[in-house]
Structure 1
């Protein structure tokens, strides 16, 4: 493969490494994934791969930044622009199915859950950069709803965790249990049901 000489070519090459890396991690797990295999998938030498990433862990964190962090930023944006809890839920219900179906998030979740003890520092960073940011935004939304008299809960933080639970369930389901299945999980219907249950549970 030709050497990348321009910034655009380097960005393209880097994205190819991220794609190849995610596929390797997804198929083999973090522990068994090898940089030489990732280089082979991308059609380059291992030395070329190391010009972009110092280690397997460095590459995985770059994948997290590419795949997960933009989705969290989108979630934060949705929740910031919604002054009303029900409006925020409507926006989330519309966005989440696409976020799961049209992204690599489920593949990332499978790697993290399946091999978490092998790379605790990466899991810690993911929790800080992705999960805790999402939970903080949801907690803030629920607290604002309680302060306005719209909602009632004794523990907004736990309520936020319960709000996000179907997202994790859906991500795992799509990459683990739908392999070879004839019937796919209807994410739109699932999140609509979740919205209805949340409103019944949290409305004052």
Structure 2
């Protein structure tokens, strides 16, 4: 097997390994997944796999980073660029179905829940690198809205969890119960309803 010489070729091989790894751990669980099987599924040698990831834990950490960081950037753009809280909630509502339907985060969450006791450090990294950072972004958004009198928010940190709750639940539903679209949910309608409920609960008003 020839080594990848260009950065583009290296990125392509790395992504192939990450995709294969997610497929393996999703089907077999973290404990039963072997590095040999990941390499074989990716169509690469085990030696090539170890050039990119020196352990199964490093491979899984790479999965977390590859799936979390791009979506974190989108949430950051929504929360930072929105001129009003209502606009930000609308942006979150529009992005949530895409996050669940078109990314592998639901599958990764299923693996984390199923095998969390086997790799607590990686679970903590997922919580810190994705969940808590998203919650902090939304809490900061809520704090700014409260400070300028746009909404009535007594506890931004806990309110951020209420905003995220249906997204987390829907991702779990997708990864655990709806793998073959046999228990599909109208996500667009669900998040539209949730947005309207939050607008009323937060008493959002225009600020001149």
Provide TM-score, normalisation by structure 1: 0.94
Moved more, 182-191 or 136-145: 182-191
Provide TM-score, normalisation by structure 2: 0.93
Count residues with an aligned counterpart.
204
CA pair 180-15 structure 1, distance change in 2 beyond 3 A: closer
Report the Cα offset of residue 112 of structure 1: 1.1
8 A contact 2:109–2:175 mirrored in 1: no
The answer for the alignment partner of 2:200 in structure 1 is 200
SS of match in other structure, 2:31? helix
Q: Does 1:143 align with 2:143?
A: yes
The answer for the alignment partner of 2:61 in structure 1 is 61
Q: Distance in 2 between matches of 1:101 and 1:45?
A: 32
Gaps of 5+ in 2: none
The answer for the alignment partner of 2:27 in structure 1 is 27
Report the Cα offset of residue 180 of structure 1: 4.3
CA deviations 1:49-99 (Å, max 9, x no partner) are 111101011111111111111101110111000121111111111111112
The answer for the alignment partner of 1:111 in structure 2 is 111
* Map 1:115-194 → 2, pairs under 5 A: 115-182=115-182, 184-194=184-194
The answer for the alignment partner of 1:91 in structure 2 is 91
CA deviations 1:118-148 (Å, max 9, x no partner) are 1111111111111111011100111111112
Gaps of 5+ in 1: none
Q: Distance in 2 between matches of 1:74 and 1:160?
A: 17
CA deviations 1:20-49 (Å, max 9, x no partner) are 011111111222211111011012222221
SS of match in other structure, 2:83? coil
